[in-house]
């Protein structure tokens, strides 16, 4: 997730704020201050910060279970519409996916229970709508918020936890890809319904959430189809080769030339002995293009955090890394030298070629059965 700021690191997972989240906090603070004055604005900010603390706890519910299954969890990003825990991979085993997905909402239901105990009575549902008038009842409003978040996340739509729960339940009986495509269809339908209802109610935030869910469901389906297309192939068969090679001391102006005159957007940086040091990415090269006449060298701006897999590994490994947030995946040959790159574009190409072949063979089947 680009343009986010780390605010804390908990047990090796960094908690980051996306810039849109800071903008969102600023807008709320400004509008509360202008309509209700300083003390109401301060109380509302405190409530919102506590709400997001509950969301961080929700994400750490997922993270603690994922860790138990040995899955790395590098970061949590907070967006205005909630939190996203990044897992290095989503397990294929339905029981593991189910346990990870359900752990988040469980945290909110536990928090709801604790806050109700603290309140000493059942919350009054009006308390949340009184928020708009500047009336703050911290514990009561936080309790209701946790219940709403827990229930909302159980909606059976990606990337809501309910979407993953649904897919895991379907995957107990069906192949993983079939389970994904049914779960994404249901998610897309739900997102369209939510978006239309939100527009009718004039609730733009809810409409934005509808669009977000629709896009996320579509991405999830694509990842499922990519996994089908490359299933069982070695990564050597899906990687792109023939990239212009760079050494550490090359100025980035050379990379700018390559970006302009070739189709390559990623460039490996190698030692003179052919050993892989890192990668230059198009976005980084362009960002540095204005720096002192692009006199920086490849070694200064190359990325050394790009994951690398040996060429005999399964291609799904590369797809997992890319869907987990890696911009590209490097591929090395048997001696550890640079062999090629896997990126989103060529994974999508593999998917489209696979779909075209499947359509063609369906047509042939139809013809022979007529
Ligand atoms: Zn969740």
| pLDDT of 334 over the 70 cut | yes
Ligand 1 centre to CA of 103 (Å) is: 8
Whether residues 111 and 167 fall in one domain:
no
Whether residues 1 and 150 fall in one domain:
yes
Range with top average pLDDT, 65-69, 153-157, 325-329: 65-69
Whether residues 71 and 213 fall in one domain:
no
User: What is the per-residue pLDDT for 292?
Assistant: 63
Question: Of 230, 248, 272, which residue is a domain's last?
Answer: 230
**14-37: pLDDT as tens digits:** 888 888 778 877 887 788 788 777
Whether residues 208 and 172 fall in one domain:
yes
Question: What angle is formed at CA 93 by the lines to CA 109 and CA 67, rounded to 5 degrees?
Answer: 55
Whether residues 216 and 249 fall in one domain:
no
* 280 within a domain of the structure (yes/no): yes
Q: What is the mean pLDDT of the chain?
A: 83
* 370 within a domain of the structure (yes/no): no
| pLDDT of 2 over the 60 cut | no
Ligand 1 centre to CA of 153 (Å) is: 6
* Longest CA span, the chain: 77
**82-103: pLDDT as tens digits:** 777 877 777 778 999 999 999 9
| pLDDT of 276 over the 80 cut | yes
Strand blocks (E) in 71-163? 75-79, 82-86
| pLDDT of 328 over the 80 cut | yes
Question: How many residues are present in the chain?
Answer: 370
User: What is the per-residue pLDDT for 1?
Assistant: 43
* 319 within a domain of the structure (yes/no): yes
Whether residues 74 and 222 fall in one domain:
no
Residues whose CB is under 5 A from ligand 1 (ion)?
Answer: 104, 161
User: What is the per-residue pLDDT for 370?
Assistant: 53
CA distance 13 to 67: 11
Whether residues 148 and 99 fall in one domain:
yes
* 356 within a domain of the structure (yes/no): no
| pLDDT of 365 over the 70 cut | no
User: What is the per-residue pLDDT for 169?
Assistant: 94
| pLDDT of 268 over the 80 cut | yes
CA distance 79 to 23: 10
* 114 within a domain of the structure (yes/no): yes
Whether residues 121 and 264 fall in one domain:
no
User: What is the per-residue pLDDT for 165?
Assistant: 93
User: What is the per-residue pLDDT for 30?
Assistant: 83
Ligand 1 centre to CA of 110 (Å) is: 14
Question: Of 154, 187, 219, which residue is a domain's last?
Answer: 154
Ligand 1 centre to CA of 188 (Å) is: 18
Whether residues 67 and 138 fall in one domain:
yes
**Across 48-68, average pLDDT:** 91
Whether residues 20 and 55 fall in one domain:
yes
Whether residues 56 and 168 fall in one domain:
no
Ligand 1 centre to CA of 145 (Å) is: 14
**Across 34-59, average pLDDT:** 85
| pLDDT of 293 over the 60 cut | no
CATH of the domain at 274: 3.10.580.10
**202-250: pLDDT as tens digits:** 777 778 778 877 887 777 777 777 877 777 788 888 888 888 888 888 8
Whether residues 64 and 4 fall in one domain:
yes
Name which residue leads in pLDDT, 111 or 306: 111
Is 59 designated active site?
Answer: yes
Range with top average pLDDT, 25-39, 169-183, 340-354: 169-183
Range with top average pLDDT, 24-28, 71-75, 101-105, 298-302: 101-105
* 261 within a domain of the structure (yes/no): yes
**Domain around 328:** 235-351
CA distance 216 to 68: 26
* 343 within a domain of the structure (yes/no): yes
Catalytic residue among 59, 140, 220, 258: 59
**107-150: pLDDT as tens digits:** 999 999 999 999 888 888 877 777 666 677 888 889 998 998 89
* 361 within a domain of the structure (yes/no): no
Q: Could you give the number of structural domains in the chain?
A: 3
Question: Of 123, 154, 185, which residue is a domain's last?
Answer: 154
Kindly state the percentage of the chain with pLDDT values over 70. 94
User: What is the per-residue pLDDT for 287?
Assistant: 82
Of 248, 276, 272, give the one whose Cα is nearest residue 335. Answer: 276
Ligand 1 centre to CA of 141 (Å) is: 20
Kindly state the percentage of the chain with pLDDT values over 90. 15
């Amino acid at each position: 997730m680009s343009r986010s700021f780390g605010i804390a690191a908990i047990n090796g997972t960094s908690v980051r704020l996306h810039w849109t989240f800071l903008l969102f906090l600023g807008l709320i603070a400004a509008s509360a201050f202008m309509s209700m004055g300083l003390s109401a604005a301060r109380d509302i900010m405190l409530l919102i910060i506590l709400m997001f603390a509950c969301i961080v706890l929700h994400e750490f519910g997922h993270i603690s279970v994922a860790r138990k299954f040995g899955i790395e969890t590098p970061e949590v990003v907070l967006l205005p519409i909630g939190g996203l825990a990044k897992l290095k991979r989503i397990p294929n085993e339905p029981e593991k996916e189910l346990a990870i997905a359900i752990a988040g909402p469980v945290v909110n239901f536990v928090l709801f229970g604790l806050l109700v105990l603290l309140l000493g009575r059942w919350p009054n549902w009006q308390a949340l709508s009184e928020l708009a008038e500047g009336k703050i009842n911290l514990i009561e409003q936080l309790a209701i918020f946790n219940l709403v978040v827990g229930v909302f996340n159980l909606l059976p739509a990606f990337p809501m936890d309910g979407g993953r729960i649904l897919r895991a339940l379907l995957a107990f009986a069906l192949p993983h890809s079939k389970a994904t495509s049914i779960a994404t269809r249901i998610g897309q339908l739900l997102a369209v319904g939510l978006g239309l209802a939100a527009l009718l109610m004039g609730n733009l935030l809810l409409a934005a959430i509808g669009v977000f869910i629709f896009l996320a469901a579509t991405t999830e389906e694509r990842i499922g189809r990519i996994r089908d297309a490359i299933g069982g192939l070695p990564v050597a068969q899906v990687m792109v080769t023939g990239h212009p090679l760079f050494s550490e001391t090359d100025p980035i102006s050379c990379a700018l030339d390559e970006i302009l005159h070739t189709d390559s957007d990623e460039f490996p940086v190698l030692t003179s002995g052919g050993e892989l040091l890192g990668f230059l990415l198009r976005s980084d090269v362009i960002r540095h293009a204005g720096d002192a006449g692009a006199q920086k060298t490849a070694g200064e701006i190359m990325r050394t955090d790009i994951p690398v897999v040996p060429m005999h590994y399964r291609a799904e490994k590369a797809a997992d890394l890319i869907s987990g947030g890696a911009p590209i995946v490097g591929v090395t040959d048997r001696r550890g030298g640079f062999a090629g790159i896997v990126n989103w574009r060529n994974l999508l190409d593999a998917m489209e070629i696979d779909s075209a072949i499947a359509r063609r063979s369906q047509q042939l089947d139809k013809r022979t059965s007529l």
